[in-house]
Structure 1
Amino acid sequence: MDVSRVTALRHSRFPWILGQAGLVALGVFVYFRIRGLTDAARATAEQHSRDIVDFEKATGLHFEAAFQKPVESSEAVEAVVNWVYIWGHWPVIIVTMVWLAWRHRPEFLRLRDGMLISGALGMLVFVTYPVAPPRLANLGLVDTVTESSRAYRWLQPPAFVNQYAAMPSLHAGWDLLVGIAIYTAATSLALKIVGCVMPVLMAGSVIATANHYVVDVIAGIAIVLVGHAAALALERRRERRGREPS
């Protein structure tokens, strides 16, 4: 491919990428505004939190204290889980989406659709079933992120955040979608490993930092898998339309 053709191809990408960036930014804005404006009554959220704890105890899933124990005994472990929780979410999502939009358009569209669909489903749960996270539920767990770092408040300003939106964990769920996209698009073993390891680290970190219950993580994964399945269906629809004679 000659230099002029490469240059033309790159220039043709910019309008499409800018359009996609606007669409994603609008989706994120709506997500945070609804998430922030549906801050429910504390008593309701705390009751739902107690219900979740009772359910976890009945099903053998009440592991929040066990996840946080290594964090309490090691500043290094606490720093790692805080770092994963803060910098392993939005920064990773943004970098991955830019990379996919530039180099791997099908994977970008699949990730975009999966996030928008699962985000919409998540907002329905935030509105109808507010849940206080473990750090606010009087379980003796420590909010390690707020106590040890101000960076998270820069990434997610309090005005946009509903502190009773623990269910589902889209921190864990969206990192799974990003991990799938990275693994699918990657051509190197190192990137494929990142795609596999990152969602696991985030799932552990959201529990260890007392921001989510185990059940929240399971619900987040279930919702994003529904979103991913819908995104695959949309992808197949686009492919069929592309094959149709004009």
Structure 2
Amino acid sequence: MTILAPRPTTSDTAAAVVRRHWRGVRELGFIALMYVAYAASRVFADDSLAPARDRAMRILSLEDNVFLDVERDVVSWFVTHDVAGRLAAYYYASAHYLVTAVVLLWLYRRRASLYPHARQVLIGSTLVALVGYLLMPTAPPRLVGYPDLMALHADSGWWGEAASAPQGMGWLTNQLAAFPSMHAGWALWVALAVTAATTSRTIRTAAWAHALITSVVVVGTGNHWLLDVLAGWGIVFLAWRTVSPTADEQTVLTPRERDLVAGGSLSGA
């Protein structure tokens, strides 16, 4: 005799929808709170330029010793290639927010089993970076004599004199938050998360291209040293390898994921 499981009632379905929507609102609130804390901590960081420049010079000296001092050449290339420079400025000002948010939402909606781990990595690595900004304010290349690509193209964008901050709102950003580069760190997070979430070669390639383009752009705009990029990557990679979601979060699956598990193709796109 076949025993059939009871079909869910309308009230059960409604309760599940409410729980799912409430969880989504809670996640949005949590991410918004993290961003507010991120912005606030940068505002309250030490803005003394002299020690920040000293740290920048030590980074440059270290790069020079290991033949990694590529910043001036990269910035100069973007300055002399106007179209590429403008595109780089727009990319720097927007991609790290838009792409990171889109991937985070995609994971939440389509890869719920991976989302808790990815979210914890994103939050944990960002908090580590904030500690660095507060304890070791470091000047970017543009504040130690290198060309400022964002200022050069400010007439064609929404940003002003303070990196990618909107015009007249430079006080919202800490211009000495160069080390580590979380533009680069978040871009690597995107690549790692997408690689873990799908087997689509096209999507994976796009994610890794974003990480590589971001690393070039943050250096080429004069906003980060190459070692800033490597530090941002290192923080995110270490967090990805060491942070683990709780046991109950690991069991959270979307209906689509449950279907994929049944079909044996959860890792598919």
TM-score by length of 1: 0.86
* Distance (Å, rounded) in 1 between the aligned partners of 2:113 and 2:250: 14
Aligned to 2:45: 38
* Distance (Å, rounded) in 2 between the aligned partners of 1:127 and 1:229: 25
Matched, 1:146 2:148: no
Greater CA radius of gyration, 1 or 2?
2
* Distance (Å, rounded) in 2 between the aligned partners of 1:50 and 1:68: 17
Equivalent pairs counted in the alignment come to 236
Over 3 Å counting, the alpha-carbon distance change for 1:132 and 1:101 in structure 2 is same
The counterpart of 2:174, out of the listed 145, 158, 162, is 162
Greater shift after overlay, 56-65 or 186-195? 186-195
1:179: Cα distance to partner?
A: 1.7
Matched, 1:212 2:217: no
**Aligned ranges 1:27-106 → 2 under 5 Å:** 27-106=34-113
TM-score by length of 2: 0.79
1:84: Cα distance to partner?
A: 2.0
1:80: Cα distance to partner?
A: 2.3
1:116: Cα distance to partner?
A: 1.1
Structure that is richer in helix per residue: 1
The counterpart of 2:33, out of the listed 1, 23, 26, is 26
Q: CA RMSD in A?
A: 2.6
**Aligned ranges 1:114-133 → 2 under 5 Å:** 114-133=121-140
* Distance (Å, rounded) in 2 between the aligned partners of 1:206 and 1:240: 35
Over 3 Å counting, the alpha-carbon distance change for 1:63 and 1:200 in structure 2 is same
1:101: Cα distance to partner?
A: 1.1
Q: Confirm or deny: 8 A CA contact 2:158 2:167 kept in the other structure.
A: no
User: Which stretches in structure 1 are left out of the alignment for 5+ residues?
Assistant: none
Q: Confirm or deny: 8 A CA contact 1:111 1:178 kept in the other structure.
A: no
Matched, 1:191 2:203: yes
Q: How many percent of aligned residue pairs carry the same amino acid?
A: 24
DSSP 3-state at the match of 2:114: helix
1:13: Cα distance to partner?
A: 2.2
* Distance (Å, rounded) in 1 between the aligned partners of 2:99 and 2:169: 18
The counterpart of 2:212, out of the listed 194, 200, 218, is 200
Q: Confirm or deny: 8 A CA contact 2:103 2:194 kept in the other structure.
A: yes
Matched, 1:182 2:194: yes
Which residue identity lines up with residue 80 of structure 1 in the other structure? L
